[in-house]
Amino acid sequence: MAKLFLLRHLKSQWNEDNRFAGWVDNPLAKESASEAKIIAQKLAGEKIDVVYTSPLIRNEETVLRIFDNMPERYPLFFHLDGGKMQKWGNFVDISQNDVPVYVSENLNERYYGKLQGLDKDEVIKKYGQKEIHMERRGFLERPPKGESLKDVYKRAVPFFKRYVPKDLEKGKNVLIVASHNSLRAIIKYVESIPDKDIDKLEITFGSLISYEFKNNSFVKN
């Protein structure tokens, strides 16, 4: 039975600094190396056949650090552009130890617009806890010049539906390594969470969520 694993990236340096990252690239924090080993141990009993992630460094670096701790499993990165796969390299074939990692901007974090780079506590003091919470977690609300979760849903979920079920139907175990709001959008779809309840969903850094794929539906473990 195929399984779907969802993993929020490990803590980045801007997360450590309490800044809104959004689409800004920044590396993982130093503490993330030991956490990657723990995640690899959790996945040790599962054969990951396919990985999907975004081009943000914190997501790709999370993938690399996890596979650093998985002996004889080697990630190969490919870019998905408009449904057409473009190889990042010149590969004749892929061995059974190689794991294809498909990269798409559709799995990027929510674009935080004018909030990107700002200190979260300072923004909350200026605009209020409730307003900023809904701009970060609500479905329709959006930060100034940024994306709502609905906007993220409209790019992340069609991408998910286009690729992931096909892999699962073939019996492949799929790992998605992505950012908080792209994963929240996917979970909203998979678990049929109503718009009014989605602001309650939180996923901590490095959290691993798993589902079994049964009869074309998802059962949470």
Residue 79 a catalytic site member: no
Q: What is the DSSP string of 18-50?
A: TB--TT---PBPTTHHHHHHHHHHHHTTS---E
- Residues 212 and 32: their CA atoms lie apart, in Å, by 28
Instruction: Tell me the residue length of the chain.
Output: 221
The residues pairing with 9 across neighbouring beta strands, listed in sequence order, are none
C-beta separation of 1 from 212 below 8 A: yes
C-beta separation of 193 from 187 below 8 A: yes
Residue type for 26, please? N
C-beta separation of 53 from 103 below 8 A: yes
Residue 35 a catalytic site member: no
Spot the catalytic one: 60, 61, 109, 147.
109
Spot the catalytic one: 9, 35, 60, 180.
9
Q: Mind telling me the catalytic residues? A: 9, 109
